[in-house]
């Protein structure tokens, strides 16, 4: 009897590490998927009472809306690692220049600006149910929406932030905001990252205190959690010093360098396929060891100029963050989708994949 008991105890000790595994399978990974586009730049016909867009603007933006609604669930080619585009997209980031005419004054422009903005709202909506695009929308302003951040579109964005889905933090001026998708923290910062509300002498744009919000948001919403962070703004990181003061650019890097920033998205550039570069606070390029910076190209800035079609190249980005239990196997995939004929045809263009760290932390808006 004692020998049988001793054998039973031995077997329990030997197999205890594996007991219960069949009843406790590893939790499947969570995928956070979303789209990024920029610069739709809706352009109305020149008229004191416009009734339509420039024909190429109409063509580009109507086709883009259709693409946004047909890509979810569609097949990805083997060059993109196969599979399908996630049907459960969290939203669409729009990195500025929502319309074309709000950096101009007088003549037909006030009427054009109102027409362009109404068309943006009709197509993009806000929460995924009130526009033609069936995704929640996370936009901010660019230079064509008001270089000094003081136009009616700025007021509209501030109002939209009050009911924008998932938003957890808004700047004191109401313009900049952040939110959580699962473990990922996202921050939208408008034109560029800079200190103070107003434009500095001998510089171009007003920062609207975006740097102050970034500092506060990272400290309070991310802290020492190690969570992956995504930062978005309109101007590109190697913009002229006239557009982005050097001291602001340096302060931006110093603010983010100790956080787990997995991507920076920007708009403002046109005519080339979506691209990835890296930024180390001083240099930016494909071979720099720094923060990954992605540019989706514009999605709709086409028009007839001097009787000729211009701006027919466009792009967008499809982002997947795969969050496993622990931090050893987490990944980020960025795929670009591009056209050279105003979205008449388009192709999957590039795939950038990397390992990231996504700690298993709870957030106030865990989705």
Q: What is the pLDDT of residues 2-19, one digit of tens each?
A: 455 454 444 444 444 444
Mean pLDDT check: name the lowest of 5-9, 40-44, 201-205, 206-210: 5-9
How far is 233 from 94, CA to CA, in rounded Å?
10
Check residue 219 and give its pLDDT.
Answer: 98
- Give the DSSP letter of residue 79: G
Whole-model pTM: value is 0.90
How far is 142 from 230, CA to CA, in rounded Å?
18
Mean pLDDT calculated for residue range 96-102:
97
* DSSP annotation string for 12-66: HHHHGGGTTGGGSPPPPPEEEEEEEE----B-B-SSSS--SB-HHHHHHHHHHHH
Domain parsing of the chain, residue ranges: 31-355
Check residue 325 and give its pLDDT.
Answer: 82
How far is 94 from 296, CA to CA, in rounded Å?
10
How far is 233 from 240, CA to CA, in rounded Å?
15
Per-residue confidence band for 81, with pLDDT thresholds at 50, 70 and 90: very high
**How is residue 80 written in tokens?**
């993109």
Q: For the chain, what is the radius of gyration of the CA atoms? A: 23
Q: What is Dmax (Cα atoms) for the chain?
A: 102
CA atoms within 13 A on the CB side of 180: 18
Q: Is the dihedral of CA 65, 66, 70, 71 positive or negative?
A: negative
How far is 127 from 84, CA to CA, in rounded Å?
24
**Is residue 16 classed exposed, middle or buried when 0-12, 13-18 and 19+ CB atoms within 10 A define those classes?**
exposed
- Chain center to CA of 37: 7
Spell 49-87 as b/e; 16+ CB within 10 A means b.
ebeebbebbbbbbebbbebbeebbeeebeeebeeeebbe
Superfamily of domain 31-355, CATH level 4: Metallo-dependent phosphatases (3.60.21.10)
How far is 336 from 74, CA to CA, in rounded Å?
14
Mean pLDDT calculated for residue range 25-42:
90
- The predicted-structure confidence for 259-304, as pLDDT tens digits, reads as follows 999 999 999 999 889 999 999 999 999 999 999 999 999 999 999 9
Q: Is the dihedral of CA 344, 92, 208, 215 positive or negative?
A: negative
Collect all residues with Cβ–Cβ distance below 8 Å to 244 and sequence separation of at least 6. 192, 194, 235, 237
pLDDT: which is higher, 128 or 364: 128
* DSSP annotation string for 146-168: -TTS-SHHHHHHHHHHTT-TTEE
Per-residue confidence band for 359, with pLDDT thresholds at 50, 70 and 90: confident
- Given a cut of 90, whether residue 125 has pLDDT beyond it is yes
Vertex 199: Cα angle to 195 and 200 (nearest 5): 80
- Given a cut of 80, whether residue 342 has pLDDT beyond it is yes
Per-residue confidence band for 317, with pLDDT thresholds at 50, 70 and 90: very high
**How is residue 244 written in tokens?**
């982005």
Nearest to 92 by CA among 340, 318, 357: 318
- Given a cut of 90, whether residue 24 has pLDDT beyond it is no
Strand order in the sheet with 261-265: 167-170, 177-181, 184-188, 229-232, 261-265, 291-295, 275-279, 284-285
- Residue linked to tokens 């001026």: 173
- Chain center to CA of 179: 12
């Amino acid at each position: 009897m004692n020998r049988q008991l001793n054998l039973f105890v031995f077997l329990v000790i030997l197999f205890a590490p594996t007991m219960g595994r069949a009843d406790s399978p590893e939790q499947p990974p969570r995928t956070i998927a979303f789209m990024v586009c920029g610069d739709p730049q809706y352009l109305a016909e020149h008229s004191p009472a416009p009734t339509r867009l420039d024909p190429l603007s109409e063509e580009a933006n109507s086709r883009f809306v259709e693409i946004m609604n047909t890509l979810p669930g569609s097949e990805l080619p083997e060059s993109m690692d196969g599979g399908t585009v996630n049907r459960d997209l969290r939203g669409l980031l729009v990195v500025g220049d929502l319309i074309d005419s709000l950096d101009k004054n007088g003549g037909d422009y006030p009427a054009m600006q109102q027409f362009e903005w109404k068309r943006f709202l009709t197509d993009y909506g806000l929460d995924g149910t009130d526009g033609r695009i069936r995704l929640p929308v996370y936009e901010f302003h660019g230079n064509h929406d008001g270089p000094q951040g003081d136009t009616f579109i700025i007021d509209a964005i501030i109002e939209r932030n009050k009911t924008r889905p998932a938003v957890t933090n808004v700047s004191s001026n109401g313009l900049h905001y952040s939110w959580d998708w699962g473990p990922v923290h996202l921050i939208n910062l408008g034109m560029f990252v800079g200190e103070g509300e107003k434009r500095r002498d001998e510089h171009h744009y007003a920062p609207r205190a975006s740097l102050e919000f970034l500092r506060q948001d990272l400290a309070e919403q991310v802290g020492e959690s190690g969570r992956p962070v995504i930062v978005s703004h309109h101007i590109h990181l190697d913009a002229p010093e006239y557009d982005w003061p050097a001291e602001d650019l340096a302060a931006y890097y110093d603010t983010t360098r100790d956080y787990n920033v997995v991507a920076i998205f920007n708009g403002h550039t046109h005519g080339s396929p979506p691209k990835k570069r890296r930024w180390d606070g001083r240099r930016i390029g494909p071979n720099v060891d720094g923060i990954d910076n992605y540019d989706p190209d514009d999605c709709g800035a086409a028009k007839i100029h001097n009787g000729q079609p211009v701006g027919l190249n466009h792009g967008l980005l499809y982002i997947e963050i795969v969050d496993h239990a622990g931090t050893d196997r987490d990944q980020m995939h960025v795929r670009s989708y591009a056209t050279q004929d105003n979205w008449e045809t388009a192709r999957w263009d590039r795939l950038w994949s990397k390992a990231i760290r996504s700690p298993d932390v709870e957030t106030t808006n865990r989705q």
